[in-house]
Amino acid sequence: MSSPISNSSGPTAKSRERHDELKTGLRGFLWAIAVSATLITVAASYARAADLNDYPTSARADYVFGCMKANTESRQSIEQCSCSIDIIASLLPFDRYVSAETVLSMSQVRGNLGTQFRSSEQARTALDDLRRAQAEAEVRCF
């Protein structure tokens, strides 16, 4: 008496069909996972870009123009100054940048008002944060 296993000469048509169905299903599943992972990565990239790009274009342009006036007005200067504001933006949120720029501007005012901006601990902290970001930008970009 022979066993059904020993009589089998290979996979039957039905088992091959089932194997192909599983293979197709697995491919579809892996494709869905790959697409999902890609979409999640893209969404995370956009979220990070939005976090890093909270500086309005006008603020970036103003910085680049001032930076170019302080340096040479060349193509290389545009690249370096653009790099510089990008580094500052990555290190200092825009509201802190505005605070520091305001302190810097107001500290040049003569009299009591200017003195308050020059002597305040908050003003000093804001300026220190900006100067640290500018120093890092200087090292990376110039």
What does the pLDDT look like over 38-86, one tens digit per residue?
A: 556 555 544 454 555 689 999 999 999 999 999 999 999 999 999 999 9
Q: Which H helix or E strand runs over 58? A: helix 57-70
Q: Where are the domains of the chain?
A: 19-52, 55-91, 92-136
Say which residue the tokens 């002597």 belong to: 119
Residue 92 has pLDDT above 80, yes or no: yes
Residue 106: name the closest of 121, 93, 85, 123 by CA: 123
Sorting pLDDT into bands at 50, 70 and 90, what band is 117?
Answer: confident
Between CA 115 and CA 112 the distance in angstroms is: 5
- Among 8-22, 86-100, 110-124, the range scoring the smallest mean pLDDT is 8-22
Say which residue the tokens 């123009």 belong to: 65
Predicted pLDDT of residue 102: 94
Predicted pLDDT of residue 36: 55
Contact 105, 128 (CB under 8 A): no
